Amino acid sequence: MRRAAAAAAAALLLLASGAAAQDTTAPGPVVFDFEAEPGLTFRPGGGWSFGPVRGEAPEGEAFVRLENAGPEAPPSMAAGAVPAEGWIGQTVRLSAWLRVDGDHSPLAGLWLRIDGAEEGPPLFFDNMSERPVAPGGWSRHEITAYVPPGSGRLVFGLLKSGVGSLDADALTLSVTEPVTTTMSPEARAYLDEALGALEAGHINRAAVDWAHVREVTDRMAARATTPAEVRPAIRVAIEMLGERHTFLRPPPRDPAAPGGEGPPAPMPRGETAAPGVGLLTVPARPSTGGEALDQAYRDTLAVAIERLEAVGTCGWIVDLRGNGGGNMWPMLNGLEPLLGAGPFGHFGNADGPQSRWVRRDGRIVNEPMDAGGEGETPVGRLAEAPVAVLFGPRTGSSGEMTAIAFLSRPRTRTFGAPSGGLTTANVSYRLPDGAQLVITTTGVHDGDGRFITGPLVPDEATSDDETLPRALEWLATQGCSAQTDPA
């Protein structure tokens, strides 16, 4: 269910990019009382309707209703926008009276997005997906956000998925008042613990004005009573660190709840791409599920290599184009037969490596640089076979670490497009409610000790459609094709 909600939210980001209702240069407040016109942009479709309703309202004599009375359809929304001028440097609050009738859907409430002045990803986005409005009577809800320098506009509105309706009244965007906190002790402790973990471990911790971060997050969470109401403030603190690889993962859903377990994680696949060429598709390995799933992932990859090796495979393709990250160690250990002599990579900073990825007792592990020796000298049994590594913009984090492990290997060539650029390492910090604060703590070097920043760049830049054919062509030059006997 959470994955569906995330996909729907991504679609709504695109839909809302054109919203321009109620643009104003005034710094606020911006109030939609819905007594006359709705004032928000709405695109009909999918059985959804939007408009004013005359009747008893929390404030005044009318409210608006976003409704889907037919079969369940994709989520819908109503949107408004204001330029960021006048709001920059402020903590803002989007609030409204809301009422839901019908399904308890994963998306039901307000949404707020802050776009940068330059093209790029949003600077902030919250759609209440972790705290949707439950069916029932009228209640007041809000989103708070810090508007950072470089903001271009604030886009906001109402959002609903599933069957039923979302009613709204007195939608208001305003600057928050000076902090007179009513934060509950639980919320205060949660926020302090998260900020403490970031300040203690983040790679950019020395360059951050932590007093300012705490001032902003205190304003955002001033009325919070639960961890869920604090999490948007933590995400803003992460944005203020100026680094893309740190994130907050919400608590896992109850497996007993509908859709609580979610779809099974994909496993690696091995197949023959052409006579004499084995194709290994290496997907993300989410950092959840524990050692049993790590072992299953590793074993699946190892068995695929053994099966392809048994039929005389000569050259190999390691496809990381869909690997967004997770736990890198099942990936590297599953691919171990293809790797040469260690070290395969390092963790460290611009001053040099601090630890190295090496073989120890037949496994690839990370150890301190002063652990002694250079790791075991034996190489993988297929270390001399040619390997083509494929990556692109959807390759990130541990997917990039896996690609890095091959960069210093002989008879290896990379194909595709620049990777996602999450070439740093992070650690997971568990918060009291089960949420995971994943904190970037260090940079990465390749096996030869070269410090890596930003995206990996392939040896041969290819379009997605050209990547596999070009890899096959190169492997043919290495003696692996339909016209040659596998070596």
**Alpha-carbon distance 487 to 470, whole Å?**
21
**Alpha-carbon distance 487 to 480, whole Å?**
8
- Tokens representing 248 are 């907050």
**pLDDT, mean of residues 136-147:** 91
pLDDT of residue 14: 38
pLDDT of residue 102: 82
**pLDDT, mean of residues 362-371:** 88
**pLDDT, mean of residues 124-150:** 89
Helices (H), 316-397: 328-334
Given a cut of 80, is residue 60 above it in pLDDT? yes
- Name the pLDDT band for 366 (thresholds 50, 70, 90): very high
pLDDT of residue 37: 80
Task: Determine contact, residues 124/145, Cβ cutoff 8 Å.
Answer: yes
- Tokens representing 355 are 């630890």
pLDDT of residue 181: 59
**High-pLDDT (> 70) share of the chain, %:** 87
Per-residue exposure over 313-352, b if at least 16 CB sit within 10 Å of its own CB, e if not: bbbbbbbbbbbbbbbbbbbbbbbbbbbbbbbbbbbbeeee
pLDDT of residue 381: 86
Mean pLDDT rounded to a whole number for the chain: 86
For the ranges 40-49, 179-188, 349-358, the lowest mean pLDDT is seen at 179-188
Task: Determine contact, residues 221/185, Cβ cutoff 8 Å.
Answer: no
Return the residue matching tokens 């859709």: 259
Q: Using alpha carbons, list the distances in angstroms from residue 116 to 11, 143, 148.
A: 19, 19, 9
pLDDT of residue 254: 53
Given a cut of 70, is residue 271 above it in pLDDT? yes
pLDDT of residue 18: 41
pLDDT of residue 376: 52
Q: Note the pLDDT tens digit of each residue in 380-418.
A: 789 999 999 999 999 999 999 999 999 999 999 999 999
Work out the burial of residue 391: count CB atoms within 10 Å of its CB; fewer than 13 is exposed, 13-18 middle, 19 or more buried: buried
Report pTM. Answer: 0.73
Q: Note the pLDDT tens digit of each residue in 82-121.
A: 999 889 988 899 999 999 998 778 889 999 999 999 888 7
270: which strand partners? Answer: 280
Q: Note the pLDDT tens digit of each residue in 209-259.
A: 999 999 889 888 888 899 988 998 999 899 889 888 999 988 886 544 444
pLDDT of residue 353: 92
For the ranges 125-134, 192-201, 250-259, the lowest mean pLDDT is seen at 250-259
**Alpha-carbon distance 43 to 400, whole Å?**
40
pLDDT of residue 25: 39
pLDDT of residue 3: 37
State the Cα angle at 27 between 21 and 29, rounded to 5°.
75
**Alpha-carbon distance 220 to 230, whole Å?**
8
**Alpha-carbon distance 441 to 412, whole Å?**
29
**Alpha-carbon distance 79 to 67, whole Å?**
15
Helix (H) or strand (E) holding 270: strand 269-274
**Alpha-carbon distance 424 to 442, whole Å?**
6
pLDDT of residue 20: 38
pLDDT of residue 120: 80
- Name the pLDDT band for 264 (thresholds 50, 70, 90): low
- Name the pLDDT band for 486 (thresholds 50, 70, 90): very low
Q: Note the pLDDT tens digit of each residue in 442-461.
A: 999 999 999 999 999 999 99
For the ranges 201-210, 261-270, 279-288, 325-334, the lowest mean pLDDT is seen at 261-270
**pLDDT, mean of residues 170-174:** 93
415: which strand partners? Answer: 390, 460
pLDDT of residue 35: 84
